[in-house]
Structure 1
């Protein structure tokens, strides 16, 4: 027996007292409770919704604390799934062809002059590659999650966070020269750094390429495996 709109609203209001932060976990628990109550109604139980709700919570979830434990467990499972997929995507591009291509690119960069235009071009490539996955991830998100209101989306948060890893790497790259500049006060290390700048810059660009490809692959696999429910 399908519950009335008032009964569904009562369940929704009641579930708000539980510590369920994320929409995906909240929906799973709510669906489970609603289905269990509907089965009881179908079996002839005409008790008020508040009694049926409590009976289901006590029997299926072992009470209030049981629901919160389940929510924490589900959150951990989601995080492990996302992390595993991220690691697989990184490993996918850490192979011999990628290494050979990187070595070739670095060797060719030895022929590049250490001038402002070359450094600027390499930096521009890094910036584009750093933010492309974030743009791709945001546009690839279903509209229902992109503009989600109310509770946070565990999957959306992790989806965007992983896509932002290249941008975080860019932040590290930007501050890298400052460390070398500090060394210059104690000797000729800055001159050494200045000499190897083109090949070092190309190495960083290739790192961005690999990280960029891995991140986009992660996003595609994430959506293809229906980890985000539309």
Structure 2
């Protein structure tokens, strides 16, 4: 019976794992596509990269919701592996007698084990921080490199004048200085939550291999 139950929980966990991977794949596709659009021609506006940041944020929020479901089934599977199957293969003198209680409680009244914010922070630190970093570097290159600007503003390979960079960062009626400040605040927030996340009970809390 336990083997059949384990197989069922493993299937549910794998299903949510696949959904998470699909969201990550879509985020990578969005980043690659909009990077190509923005950097392939001088006529492309830097707002394309800002739009990419918004799309990646939307996908991160979707993935955080999916991760909360995945974490429930992952916890059940790991509980069975650590305290049931591992004990069958190699008994441990320090076996916890109440190891099945968390599974029984979860089956009677399923509840999320982590908050939405913690789930988003975990996925941000695991995958999305690198996508945001790539977009930031591309955006900085776009507004500071003369070679990627319109022919009318092309002067040198790299625009060193602060006024020129700020002018390139303008977004319609929004001044470039305001845009740069907003992007800076956005990335400081990302850095804060990436470093603040608690990984003590994540998939790497009991080993170096995660599922």
| Fold shared by both chains (TM-score > 0.5) | no
Higher helix share: 1
Max radius of gyration: which structure? 1
The structure showing larger relative contact order (alpha-carbon pairs under 8 Å, at least 6 residues apart) is 1
